[in-house]
Amino acid sequence: MHSGDTPTAKSPNCGRKMNHPIAGFVERRHKLGKIEAIRHKVRGNSGTRGWHSTSLDRVEDGKAVVSQLTSALMRAVLVMVVVATPSMLLLDVTSDTKQMVALVALFLGLLTFVEYNSTYPSLVEFRDAPPFNRIRFLMLFAIVFFLSTIERGKVAPTSFTEFTSAVGMVVGASMDFAYSPVRLATLMMSDGASAQEIAEVRTAAGMAYLISLVSLSVFVVALKSGNWPSRGRTFNVWVNLPTFDPTAGGDVVVRLQRDARINIALGFLLPFLTPAVVMISSTSFEPLSAANSQTLIWTMTAWAFLPASLFMRGIAMGRVADMIQERRNANRALQGARDGLAAA
């Protein structure tokens, strides 16, 4: 009896022992299911965020590419307009001259487009440091435009051309003294030049020199007021000075200061050296003549634009050297403060 009752007495206990592991296993599976669901949700959210961030990055990259392409195209068109301005304003331009000017404009426009559309710079300096190149471009355009206007007034005078000629005449006459750049510019004329031709060259030189001085003053004011380089943008020396090699040897600050002094000296001497070079080479080349309007415009433009551009480049390189020196001093002061705190 006792042996017969034993299974019945022990069977409930056995059932309870079997139910506890099964319940625990089901409970563990339930918990694991919740954990797995949470993990799946987290993966889904992170995957969605990653997909959204990748899409936004692609959209931003696309906008940057389109913006750079548009900017490069606009700059190329503006350069072509500057080159073609004398041919568009002058009335006595032959078809062959127009074709040659169009070819030169296309070449310079293509060069500008490739330079500004590329990621890495090659020739153009201070590409990402406005308004340096903008001031230089406006100076070049103003010189070419006003000189072309003066030359157009000789054939088809208007009130605007008369006013421009009067301003150039007054400025040229005020700067026409011994050993002045304007006086030396008139010496580039041929020996048989008449008084009228010399006066025309003096007027063009006065107008071009006035525009270059005003543009240089505008850049200096922008530099002194703290607008160059822009405080809200990082200044990359390699991007803005592609022809300057920081690893060539020697201290970068010393080399920048030396190049700045050389550019400023060349900018000061070039208006005096150009007439001398033209006079020396007059035996091999035709001297400056007021009869050819295109030659007069581009000669006076180069005579006034190149020195002012060298002046601006020298001042800008000196500013870059000062910025690097200020950053070095700040880093040294910060390192000294850290060393003092560590010692304390």
State the number of CA atoms in the 13 A half-sphere of 87 facing the CB.
17
Three-state DSSP state, 105: helix
175 touches 209 (CB < 8 A): yes
This prediction's pTM: 0.78
Torsions phi, psi of 129, nearest 5? Answer: -135, 65
- Which residues of the chain fall short of a pLDDT of 70? 1-57, 59, 61, 227, 231-233, 281-291, 343-344
Three-state DSSP state, 288: strand
pLDDT at 61: 67
pLDDT at 7: 45
The predicted-structure confidence for 197-237, as pLDDT tens digits, reads as follows 889 999 999 999 999 999 999 999 988 887 688 766 677 88
Q: Which residues, 6 or more positions from 289, have their beta carbon under 8 angstroms from its beta carbon? A: 189, 190, 193, 197, 295, 296
pLDDT at 17: 42
pLDDT at 159: 95
pLDDT at 287: 63
Measured CA distances, 122 to 140, 174, 221, 252 (Å): 21, 41, 28, 20
The predicted-structure confidence for 24-59, as pLDDT tens digits, reads as follows 444 444 444 444 444 544 444 444 445 455 666 676
Nearest CA among 299, 263, 264 for reference residue 278: 299
pLDDT at 169: 94
Three-state DSSP state, 194: coil
